[in-house]
Amino acid sequence: MNNIPTYFEALRWASLFIRKNQGDENAPELILMDTMEWSRTELIMHYREKLFPEQWEKFQTAVKRVAKGEPVQYVTNKATFFGREFYVDKRVLIPRVETEELVETILSKTKRSRQRLRVLDIGTGSGDIAITLKLERPEWLVTAVDISKDALTVAQRNAESHEAIVDFRLGSLFEPVQGERFDLIISNPPYIADNEKHEMDQSVIDFEPHQALFADDHGLFWYKRIADQLDQYLVEHGELGCEIGYRQGTDLKKYFLEKKYIDQAEVIKDLSQHDRILWVKKK
């Protein structure tokens, strides 16, 4: 296409190009809406207008990235989580719907509490969980840790854009919070086993940070480390909520209940009826 196209023609070209390369066919609209800062309705209203040359060039570059398998969220640097927009890039995982269900579970299980809970988010990544909880429960004191300095940079950027006060700290698991105790601990740690790679989208393997995806011991490594140290950091009757892999519920429930300080452990299913959340209560 040598001439500068209209928005409609540009979308048609992009759809054909991406379909030929087996990319995300929803990406072109998202890219144009992001470029122009338009809603879908506004985009439709401008269908017959021509792009400016620099817009057309930028759009083609973005479409070619998606056609090579790169997630559109990394191309636009935007992902939606719990109705809010978060900045993302290759330093962090893209927030997922399953993790929204973890947040919904947390809010549901604590809705009767008017306490100023002390909350710890382990492996915060983009900060999506910690920031969302702070925005939904402004009275909570939220601390978030991550082993990746790059991830914390992204999380801090998101906290600032949402004007959410979260205490971000660098380090692995409980290292940054030695001597402190929390009412509620949350984690969405790496939980994919190496032998599950064949079940994953290639774009996830190629573009998202492996450190935030994969874990040893059939994906259970980080959960067990949390369980082994939890007694020191969770107050009496405190609770732990974790996102888990759909094959891990039975083994994790058993492992946590073997700890003398654990009172209850339940596995909660997601909307697809897969095991997705482990909820633990301390004696």
User: Hey, what are 112's tokens?
Assistant: 């009767």
The Cα–Cα gap between 90 and 208 comes to: 6
Cα torsion 119, 125, 126, 130 to 10°: value is: -10
Between β-strands 262-269 and 141-146, what pairing exists: parallel, antiparallel or unpaired?
Answer: unpaired
83 is in an annotated binding site: no
2 is in an annotated binding site: no
171 is in an annotated binding site: no
User: Hey, what are 254's tokens?
Assistant: 């058993």
The closest of 165, 184, 51, 56 to 111, measured between CA atoms, is: 184
Residue 85 dihedral angles phi and psi, to the nearest 5°:
-95, 130
124 is in an annotated binding site: yes
The Cα–Cα gap between 143 and 131 comes to: 10
- Longest CA pairwise span in the chain (Å): 71
126 is in an annotated binding site: yes
Distances (CA, A) of 227 to 29, 152, 237, 265, 280: 44, 24, 15, 12, 10
190 is in an annotated binding site: yes
185 by DSSP, 3-state: which? strand
127 is in an annotated binding site: yes
Beta bridge partners of 278: 242, 267
The closest of 69, 92, 217, 110 to 147, measured between CA atoms, is: 92
158 is in an annotated binding site: no
CB 40 within 8 A of CB 22: no
The Cα–Cα gap between 141 and 120 comes to: 9
Binding residues for S-adenosyl-L-methionine: 123-127, 146, 188
Binding-site residues from annotation for substrate: 188-191
- What residue numbers does the annotated binding site cover? 123-127, 146, 188-191
